[in-house]
Amino acid sequence: MKRWSLSVAATLLVGVAAPALANDSVLTETGNAKQWAIQTGDYANTRYSELDQINKDNVGDLQVAWTFSTGVLRGHEGSPLVIGDMMYVHTPFPNTVYALDLAQDGRIVWKYHPQQDPNVIGVMCCDTVYRGLAYADGLLFLHQADTTLVALDAKTGEVKWSVVNGDPAKGETNTTTVLPVKDKVIVGISGGEFGVRGSVTAYNIADGSLAWRAYSTGPDEEMLVDPEKTTHLGKPIGKDSSLNSWEGDQWTIGGGTTWGWYSYDPDLDLIYYGTGNPSTWNPSQRPGDNRWSMTIMARDPDDGMAKWFYQMTPHDEWDFDGVNENVLFEAEIDGTERKLLFHPDRNGIAYTLDRETGELLVAEKYDPAVNWTTGVDMDPNSETFGRPQVVAQYSTEQNGEDVNTTGICPAALGTKDQQPSAYSPKTGLMYVPTNHVCMDYEPFRVSYTAGQPYVGATLSMFPAPNSHGGMGNFIAWDPVAGEIKWSLPEQFSVWSGALATAGDVVFYGTLEGYLKAVDAATGNELYKFKTPSGVIGNVFTYEREGKQYVGVLSGVGGWAGIGLAAGLTNATDGLGAVGGYAALADYTALGGQLTVFALPN
């Protein structure tokens, strides 16, 4: 691989003054329902809009209002942002940004095209996706594939500052968005399949200087934990909690990367995110619980100190990254209104926790096909409280490193991957895009070389047996009762982020390319339209001049669509996804387009 020459110091190109708290800007912009000012809809990750002009009675009349081609033919995740009359559209690598003036028929006001070494593509495990821009205080934040974080003037596209967060020569890349909080911007890192040691980093919005970095594994001081105050299931984690759960110095290449979604509770002043799989995928090479991979973390945004952890899958044997979204909501439990957090994990368990304390309240399977565990031990007096009870038949290290374990459900891409859920306060339900996929998993011994794949397993994927034969479902989930209220089967995994609205409609996209609208209460299909390519983007909505619009990026790719996106044909390529989704090529082709819908005049 070509040598990288990337500075890790901030490059101050133009000085920029920032208000004391980006919160003020983010809360103001997201508080205006006419805009889509953050990838997740709001700090709470609800992906809910108060707009109701498009509702369950008229959504069937939707028409295409306008389209925009991005000029890139890889997987398009995330969504544009809408701030005032401006729409900001991003692309996968090379991470081009377009500023479109909605008041001038979508005229391109400015375009930012980063100069990145294309060698970074070779160290992006699961397509060259990017989940979108963030906005605060008149700045757009772009976290490029090569880990360069750039602050752009939202009006002009001028670079205000940039800083490099990682080193692609070591496999460190970026696929996810960032979160502006207070006077900082919070960023993660990708690369668990290359032995990257996961971390979350805060940079000062004013100038891009480093504020703090919290690692997912390692010594207490590097993880920013207090062994007596940071808790796990209500108990202090104790000294060297991570080091004691790894063999030797395996934690230095131990994964736990942070490429998922971030949420923030301004009242509790805590940020929430999940950490990914431990490295390598061969569990025999890393005995122990491998803390704190596969963990929900709650931290203080000022200094990064951790308040509480919850590890979903100790000693992960299946690549069930814990990076999925944490949706913040409030509901009554046992007669008491509580501040809650909902997390639908890759491992097939949907969790509800008290987001102030980390108390585990609900943990139930959200796909009946899940078979690697009988469930989570919910007895607080048990020594295994909070741990999933593994079914020996589906352990991937039960018979040694070279034996294929068959029929594991879900597959490594999980009962859901990063594709974010939506929450409606009107129904109290979570609307969850899911995968209905199983796998065979054969570990093998692998050695670590910086910048080279550090996987150590061969996978094949297939639809879950004895069910509808498809590879996905779109479900409505009760996060308090811990049960499915309704489920819509899909031929392929639902890899699009959902949107819920006050019009009692829920939107999502399909890998074949459909935008679909369903009744929030019943799941009845109300509308569908086939866009030019498979949809792995997240549906968003905005209003302009009294008219509501709904939009989505289409452009097949991501892990599920990596065969199409990268031209792969070997069934075990793409970490097993190519063979599992081979039929997708019969329904869609590569593309890169934004499609925006509205009701007729």
Residue numbers annotated as active site = 319
Name the residue type at position 267: D
CA–CA gap between residue 143 and residue 106 (Å, rounded): 24
Instruction: Report the DSSP pairing between strands 472-478 and 429-435.
Output: antiparallel
CA–CA gap between residue 557 and residue 460 (Å, rounded): 18
Q: Which of 548, 554, 547 is nearest to 497 (CA)?
A: 554
Cβ neighbours, 10 Å, residue 453: 17
How distant, in Å, are the alpha carbons of 127, 173, 452, 486 from that of 123? Answer: 10, 7, 8, 39
Q: Which of 559, 556, 551, 546 is nearest to 594 (CA)?
A: 551
The neighbouring-strand residues paired with 344 are 350
Count of residues for the chain?
601
The torsion angle over the Cα atoms of residues 206, 210, 214 and 218, rounded to 10 degrees, is 180
Name the residue type at position 166: G
What lies within 8 Å, CB to CB, of 213 at 6+ separation is 199, 200, 201, 202, 304
The neighbouring-strand residues paired with 127 are 125
Cβ neighbours, 10 Å, residue 274: 29
Q: What is the DSSP letter of 244?
A: G
The answer to whether 328 touches 272, Cβ cutoff 8 Å, is yes
Q: What do you get for the CA distance between the two ends of the chain, in Å?
A: 55
The answer to whether 183 touches 176, Cβ cutoff 8 Å, is no
